[in-house]
Structure 1
């Protein structure tokens, strides 16, 4: 059975799910949703996700929204082993912790900037929003000073979730490699991964270019 994934290329959350589908060899159908045209607000889409956000995944009779729910589901259902999302309770807890960190810190602070520009036409980024992102970079540096990857010494779905945000965010709010060497090395390493090249790079560049072209 083919998974249906409702997508919008500039969305980091969507791109993380596309990368996961590639990593886990998930057969999927990509169904584009034009957010700027309001297709996420149609009655048909709202039946799938009342929160009117992408991604939305349909796998048989299961409908899931929010990438932080979709990524663990894909790993558990389609992963050939548990390296990306460990079954060991303590190791899994660390991955979950970093997925939540992405949801409430990295992604949320990025969306405070990019979402407003894309959806409302806003043309400024307040200093406090920049400072909040830079604080997120500081948190990343602290975590990556302890382990090679964000939730341990091997790559997991938490890295994929954060990677999809950082590839576009760091083109808008620059990441100082001298100030954040561990984070910079982590990012440059994962940007070379085939799944990132295939399903993240173009959308990340598109979002960054869109925001940068509109912000004074």
Structure 2
């Protein structure tokens, strides 16, 4: 049951799946299929046959095609005998993972993505940086980071409890994104800094491998 992963490492959820599949390579046979968003490869007719929404990530598991990172992570955890901590079978522990995955779309993912898009993607498309929007998204992102520290990480070392889960893959890859636009998510947020370090330590070398290009852009943004 080979899983083809269609991804672009510039995409946060793509990186989350890339790390997950590489961490479970002995359990889940995977074929990595890069899709270059910057070249518009996700808009091709061939890719539309994999994902009609024309977005990454997406998978093809022996003919079963699936889009949306949260759905893909749940499917993989149900289908393959991965360690229980990724997506616990215990109903309450699983609900905590689901709770974060539902929350993140309109919070960390939304504001982090919009800050990145406003500062980086829009200029690449020939659009000027809207400084008012950038300031607004920055304020909203800072508010969300406070919520992560004071609610999600208030009593536990990881997002959904005492153990690493797929929620942490989604959280950390999103936390990395604003850094490419010069936004330091760690400034004034020591819990987040410690949290990301802990997740990285558990997922090496796959975490850093998935972020090679991201780190280059982060370093450039600091110059």
TM above 0.5, yes or no, is yes
Question: Structure 2, unaligned stretches of length 5 or more?
Answer: none
Rounded Cα–Cα distance in structure 1 between residues aligned with 2:141 and 2:68 = 21
Match of 2:166 in 1: 157
Cα offset for 1:146? 2.0
Rounded Cα–Cα distance in structure 1 between residues aligned with 2:82 and 2:186 = 37
Residue 105 of structure 2 is aligned to residue 100 of structure 1: no
* Structure with higher RCO (Cα < 8 A, 6+ apart): 1
Residue 13 of structure 2 is aligned to residue 3 of structure 1: no
Match of 2:156 in 1: 147
| Counterpart secondary structure, 1:83 | helix
Match of 1:120 in 2: 125
| Counterpart secondary structure, 2:143 | helix
Q: Work out whether residues 96 and 160 of structure 2, in 8 Å CA contact, stay in contact via their aligned partners in 1.
A: yes
Deviations 1:69-119 (A, max 9, x none): 111222222243311101111111110111122222111222213245336
- Aligned residue pairs total 210
Residue 205 of structure 2 is aligned to residue 204 of structure 1: no
Question: Structure 1, unaligned stretches of length 5 or more?
Answer: none
Return closer, same or farther for 1:90/1:115 CA change in 2, 3 Å cut-off: same
Q: Work out whether residues 49 and 65 of structure 1, in 8 Å CA contact, stay in contact via their aligned partners in 2.
A: yes
Deviations 1:155-211 (A, max 9, x none): 11000111111123245311245x322111101222233131232x2143245467x
Match of 2:45 in 1: 43
Q: Work out whether residues 6 and 57 of structure 1, in 8 Å CA contact, stay in contact via their aligned partners in 2.
A: yes
**Out of 183, 187, 190, which is 1:173 matched to?**
183
Match of 2:66 in 1: 64
Match of 1:135 in 2: 143
Q: Work out whether residues 186 and 192 of structure 2, in 8 Å CA contact, stay in contact via their aligned partners in 1.
A: no
Following TM superposition, where does structure 1 have runs of at least 4 consecutive aligned residues deviating by more than 4 angstroms? none
* TM-score, length-scaled by structure 2: 0.85
Q: Work out whether residues 145 and 185 of structure 2, in 8 Å CA contact, stay in contact via their aligned partners in 1.
A: yes
Residue 46 of structure 2 is aligned to residue 24 of structure 1: no
* TM-score, length-scaled by structure 1: 0.87
Return closer, same or farther for 1:203/1:77 CA change in 2, 3 Å cut-off: farther
